[in-house]
Amino acid sequence: MRTDIFARLDREPEPPKIEAPRMSRHRIALFGGTLAFYLAIVWAVLITSWLVALDWKVMLFRPYQQWPELHPFLDYYVVLGQRGPTAVMVACWLGWRSWRQHTLRPLLVLGTSLLLLNVTVGAVKLGLGRLGPHYATQIGSAEMFAGGDIFPSGHTANAVVTWGILAYLATTPRARRYLSAVSATVSLGVGLTTVYIGTHWLSDVLLGWAAGLLILLALPWFEPLIARTEAWIFAMRERWRERRDGTRPVADAGPQPVLLPQSMATDGRGAAPVAAPAEPVVPAGHPTAAVRARAHGGHPARPGSMPVAPAGVRRPQPHTERGPRAGSPARPMTGG
């Protein structure tokens, strides 16, 4: 039993698996309700229902002529729904957050949402081809499949997504509530401004609100892809730095022997000195033996004799205790 526990502890931990976050029931209900509302608006316009009649009534009312004093202000306010200026402003703020928090998630979330916005809203715009109020040809007509590109409202959907990202990335519940209120107010004002100016039908704005909200509600499903993209970018950055600095991983050559001073080795304060590699054995009388002996300050070895020590060097005598010779009988110990 104990062996099994240590075996489990010795295993290398597996890398964490990135799984799609579970959507709460509240979010799923909101997503389903918004999708149903989206499809209902499209169907109501396709069959030229009462919603199309309401579009024409608002258009013929001409709000920009009823309140002309609001026109200069709303001309600038509608810029908050244009993709270029709003994306730059929000990207600057999220870029600063990414730098402070050492993560790319805020910028990647913004990029993912804008990509989804371009694909979904752009495809529906080109597929339905509705004409705007200024280009309408027949009163009471839905003006569908006529080569237009205003259904749904891109300004409204962009305002919902761009400013809603700030609430989505908020780190505290209080900040999320405040930013949600701000994004809802801005997107609502941008949508109504396009109706006031006459560039969109009222149904275009309703569908733009639904399209932007669907993208925000679906973002949690793309979080695993965002996390993998961030990890890949960081890995590529490290590889680029290694190539730029010219560093290469050094192969492990194993532990290298360390030569200690002889005094430390003999005093017992360190490991024994590493012996020098043995020189090849040269037979006596070989001419190389004389050269090697002179290099070491001695004389060539003579056959049948003890090696001669260099001059001035005293040969250490072996320290042995005197005792009975091997093989001789021990003398009995006598008292006195």
Query: Picking from 21-35, 70-84, 110-124, 291-305, which range would have the lowest pLDDT averaged per residue?
Result: 291-305
Sign of CA dihedral 42, 43, 47, 53: negative
Contacts of 11 (CB under 8 A, 6+ apart): none
C-alpha span between 36 and 299 (Å, rounded): 106
The residue type at 309: A
* Average pLDDT of the segment spanning 150-179: 93
pLDDT of residue 81: 87
80 touches 86 (CB < 8 A): yes
Chain segment 100-156, per-residue pLDDT in tens: 989 999 999 999 999 999 999 999 999 999 999 989 889 999 999 999 999 999 999
pLDDT of residue 266: 47
Chain segment 211-260, per-residue pLDDT in tens: 999 999 999 999 999 999 999 999 999 999 888 887 555 544 455 554 44
Q: Cβ atoms within 10 A of the Cβ of 109, count? A: 18
pLDDT of residue 276: 47
C-alpha span between 58 and 68 (Å, rounded): 16
C-alpha span between 217 and 34 (Å, rounded): 9
C-alpha span between 151 and 146 (Å, rounded): 12
Backbone angles phi, psi at 104, to 5 degrees: -100, 5
Task: Tell me the Cα Rg of the chain.
Answer: 44
C-alpha span between 150 and 127 (Å, rounded): 11
Percent of the chain clearing pLDDT 70 (strictly above)? 66
Among 12-16, 25-29, 142-146, the range with the most confident prediction by mean pLDDT is 142-146
C-alpha span between 215 and 99 (Å, rounded): 26
